[in-house]
Amino acid sequence: MHYTINNLNLIKKEINNISSNVNIVAVSKTFNFETIEPLVKNGHLHFGENKVQEAVAKWSEIKKSNKNLQLHMLGKLQTNKVKYAVPLFDYIHSLDNIKLAEKISSEQIKVQKKLKIFIQVNIGNEKQKNGILKNEVKSFFDKCVEKLNLDIVGLMCIPPKENSNKDYFGEMMEIKKKIGLENLSMGMSSDYLDAIKAGSNFVRIGSKIFGDRN
């Protein structure tokens, strides 16, 4: 058995002890397709990339022959890359400003495709981080849905590194409930179990599946 399949199976066992309703996004950024292919052949569906250019080169042909694959854009999405992202990706986890929302909306109309989108929340109110401020999430959500016809399926966050993430995960759950959304994208290789306990149903796991990046 390939090491990535073994790692993923161990992660699934841990997760199933907490919840049976979790989507594991295997964060395949920087890894070549030879490393990723065993998971694809084994039936894993959700993969995450951080850079549009890398994803286009890596996944365009593969997705044509694997129609069930779900590709997630996890990194910062620049407006000038939206025209390449919309045809390829199925989910965007990093919607963080209205200009980007408008660009996605217009591009979706052009290619007649609707992506599932997470609003990125700046849960720690960090000046250096992208994301919508906590007290502005509801009004931003309303604009995206009512004016731009976006399919907002949930909220995403990357908590501050220096503090315990449990409190931030709890806050995200409260915001999600207030808006009435179904999904939370929270938790990475170091904290996915805490995130799931707080209600996350999309976890973004890279190094614990693929190993250390170069």
Q: What mean pLDDT do residues 23-51 have?
A: 96
Angle ∠(97,113,142) on CA atoms, nearest 5? 35
Classify 162 as helix, strand or coil: coil
Q: Does the pLDDT at position 14 exceed 70? A: yes
User: pLDDT for 130-153, tens place per residue?
Assistant: 899 999 999 999 999 999 999 999
User: What is the pLDDT averaged over residues 193-208?
Assistant: 96
203 has a pLDDT exceeding 90: yes
- pLDDT band with cut points at 50, 70 and 90 for residue 163: low
Q: pLDDT tier at 21 (50, 70, 90 boundaries)?
A: very high
> How far apart are alpha carbons 20 and 168 in whole angstroms?
23
| pTM of this prediction exceeds 0.85 | yes
Q: How far apart are CA 7 and CA 37, in angstroms?
A: 14
| Cα–chain center distance at 39 | 18
User: Where are the chain's structural domains?
Assistant: 3-210
> What string of DSSP letters covers 28-96?
-TT--HHHHHHHHHTT--EEEES-HHHHHHHHHHHHHH-TT-EEEE-S---GGGHHHHHHH-SEEEEE-
Specify the CATH number for 3-210; select among 3.10.20.30, 3.30.9.10, 3.40.630.10, 3.20.20.10. 3.20.20.10
Average pLDDT, the chain: 95
